[in-house]
Amino acid sequence: MKQYKKSHFKKTLLATLSIFVLLGGVTAPLAVLRPKKAPAAPTVTITSPTEGQSISGTNFTAAGTATPNTTVVLSSGGVGFAQTISDGSGNWSVATSLPAGNISLTAKAIENPEYGYFATTDFSTFSVNRLRISDNVVNPGGGGWPIDSAGSNPFILVPSPVNSTFFSGNPLASAVLPAKFDSSSASAPVTVSGSYPADPQASKGAFNNSGSLYFAPNIALNSVSVIDTATNTFQQDISIGETFFTVTKAPSGLLYVPTQSGNLKIIDPDTLSIVNTVVLGCGAAPTVTFSQDAYPYFFVPCNDGPQVLKYKLSDTSLVETWNTGITTSNAIISLDNKKIFLAGAFGAGDADKIKVLSTDDGSVLSTIQLTAGTIAYIETSDFQKIYASTVGESFDTQSIDVIDPNTYTVEATVPTAGFPGIIATSPTEAAETSIQVAFVLGATTATSSTVAQKLAETGAIGISSTLLVGVIIAITSYLYLDYRSHKKPLRAEDPNVKYTFLHHIRVVSMPRLKYRVAVTVSVSKRSTHS
């Protein structure tokens, strides 16, 4: 495979990066290496609420313990709805809410990854570098790991979900075939064998759930090739028939292929066939974004306009279209499914920004300013950091921005020796614990009143509106009948008497409430009404 010269490679990048960086984490080399000694698995407990506890109202504070400085995600029905980070002593708490009913409350602790890895290139060779996440030190104790690119020219690396291998591609070079890497050693990449189609222009693919198959997009051929990962051999081709860039796996295991013609092709990895085609609400969608759990929606960022589309997973129906004001290349959903982070498309006006939107209504929560235009970005598995590879329009900036997704700030900028790839981390371990909790009354707490909020949390205003109206009617009826009973003898004695309802409440009902026994109406007072 011939080597790219620097000038030719830059020219090719500048001509095509405006398209391929729309793949988000695709257009920079990814690398995943596993630490030789993995951190101990995390622990997590729920101390409040307790097993079987009944809680009045729907608002509550969950608390417990976990491995210090780990992310804790609360979920119900497999869907995350709150997240926090345990402190240095391992304590955690988060105020949140759930609907009324019997709930299985699950707390999941996700360990912090020890290292991240990224590739750099001088436009002819590649090196993989290790980044210590705790202090952002690059290659602690040694230099980078050089990769001989003669046999593969890797530009994209996709990690396996089950072992230390990953597959590569290069959407900028049509002649490059996918190759298999073993990230546990410095072995050279091995090109896929068998009757793989010629000149595929291989892009970012996806694995099936078991990791036994890799689905590699062939941009130049409008097809997806199926690779047996154990033997690294080509199995068959699946025709898409339209231009596309990526294959993304949904939590269900189905593979989603958005096309530039505005269609979404869905592949069943078991039958190796297209099982559904959905007409999208925009004409150019580079990728599809899913949550990490059973969140019932997915998002499609559009690169033909500043829009993000929200779809229902169950029937792929369009729920909402949000005008975000930013042409988006890729998106990340927070672990509690409440926020979506949108990366500006390279070459667009907001390429150096990340917008944070509410997944509920699309409102803008924050805008994060980056060092320069980002070509790709990715979050750590515990969602404590987001890494953005920033290079600038003329490639004068070569660095990685480290973003705190909780404070919406760039906490550090790490210079890189060469064109930087995006950070990727090894899969991390997690621990879970669950309890059964009953939320009763289901008190509404939409009011902004602090007192009403507290009453709702204790169930004190859980009384139904129907009962409340009935009580008001009953009291009013009693007062009115009592007024009529007092007025009747007065009218019998003097038909011109003026005895009003308000007068009755003031001189009869209120004194009665103050425990007065009787009210005397004198003749002289009656004469004043004549």
d(CA 370, CA 352): 5
Q: What is the mean pLDDT of residues 170-176?
A: 77
Q: How many residues are recorded in the chain?
A: 530
- Report residue 393's pLDDT band, with 50, 70 and 90 as the boundaries: low
pLDDT for res 512: 65
Sign for the pseudo-dihedral over CA of 412, 418, 419, 421: negative
pLDDT for res 470: 52
Q: What is the mean pLDDT of residues 490-500?
A: 70
Q: What is the mean pLDDT of residues 186-207?
A: 88
The CATH classification number of 44-110+435-458 equals 2.60.40.10
CB 416 within 8 A of CB 392: no
Q: What is the mean pLDDT of residues 370-382?
A: 83
Please state, for a pLDDT cut of 70, what percent of the chain lies above it.
70
Q: What is the mean pLDDT of residues 408-429?
A: 79
The pTM assigned to this predicted structure is 0.76
Cis peptide before 49 (omega within 30 of 0): yes
Q: What is the pLDDT of residues 278-335, one digit of tens each?
A: 999 887 777 899 998 999 999 998 877 788 999 999 999 999 999 988 888 788 999 9
pLDDT for res 479: 62
pLDDT for res 413: 93
35-49, 134-148, 153-167, 376-390 — which one is most confidently predicted on average? 376-390
Sheet with 364-369, side-by-side order of all strands: 328-333, 339-344, 353-358, 364-369
pLDDT for res 24: 46
pLDDT for res 517: 40
- Report residue 409's pLDDT band, with 50, 70 and 90 as the boundaries: very high
pLDDT for res 493: 67
Side-chain half-sphere of 487: how many Cα atoms within 13 Å? Answer: 18
pLDDT for res 19: 42
**Alpha carbon 199 to its chain's center:** 36
pLDDT for res 524: 36
pLDDT for res 263: 93
pLDDT for res 274: 98
pLDDT for res 355: 93
Q: What is the mean pLDDT of residues 190-195?
A: 93
pLDDT for res 327: 82
Residue 190 has pLDDT above 50, yes or no: yes
Q: Which residue has the higher pLDDT, 20 or 475?
A: 475
Sign for the pseudo-dihedral over CA of 317, 323, 324, 329: positive
Q: Which residue has the higher pLDDT, 364 or 4?
A: 364
User: Bridge-partner residues for 80, per DSSP?
Assistant: 75
Which ranges constitute the DSSP H helices of 459-509? 465-493, 501-504
Least confident of 11-15, 40-44, 68-72: 11-15
Please state, for a pLDDT cut of 90, what percent of the chain lies above it.
44
Residue 140 has pLDDT above 80, yes or no: yes
Residue 107 DSSP code: E
Q: What is the mean pLDDT of residues 60-79?
A: 96
Q: What is the pLDDT of residues 442-474, one digit of tens each?
A: 443 333 333 333 333 333 322 333 344 454 565
Residue 407 has pLDDT above 70, yes or no: yes
Mean pLDDT of the chain: 78
Which amino acid is it at 254?
Answer: L
Superfamily (CATH H level) for 6-36+112-428: YVTN repeat-like/Quinoprotein amine dehydrogenase (2.130.10.10)
Residue 23 DSSP code: G
Residue 354 has pLDDT above 60, yes or no: yes
Q: How far is CA 269 from CA 229, 250, 266, 352, 365, in A?
A: 14, 11, 10, 36, 37
Q: What is the pLDDT of residues 217-267, one digit of tens each?
A: 999 999 999 999 999 999 999 999 999 989 999 999 999 999 988 899 999
**Alpha carbon 323 to its chain's center:** 18
Q: What is the pLDDT of residues 80-113, one digit of tens each?
A: 999 999 999 999 999 999 999 999 999 999 988 8
Pair type for strands 409-415 and 399-404: antiparallel
pLDDT for res 302: 83
Q: How far is CA 164 from CA 27, 167, 226, 229, 326, in A?
A: 21, 11, 19, 12, 36
d(CA 322, CA 361): 8
Sign for the pseudo-dihedral over CA of 450, 456, 457, 459: positive
- Among residues 288, 238, 237, 236, the alpha carbon closest in space to that of 259 is found at 288
Q: What is the mean pLDDT of residues 396-422?
A: 86
Question: How many degrees, rounded to 5, is the angle at CA 350 between CA 347 and CA 352?
Answer: 85
- Structure token pair of residue 34: 């596993």
pLDDT for res 332: 92
CB 81 within 8 A of CB 96: yes
Q: What is the mean pLDDT of residues 192-212?
A: 93
Sorted by where each begins, the domain ranges of the chain are 6-36+112-428, 44-110+435-458, 465-528
- Structure token pair of residue 345: 């498309």
Q: What is the mean pLDDT of residues 402-421?
A: 88
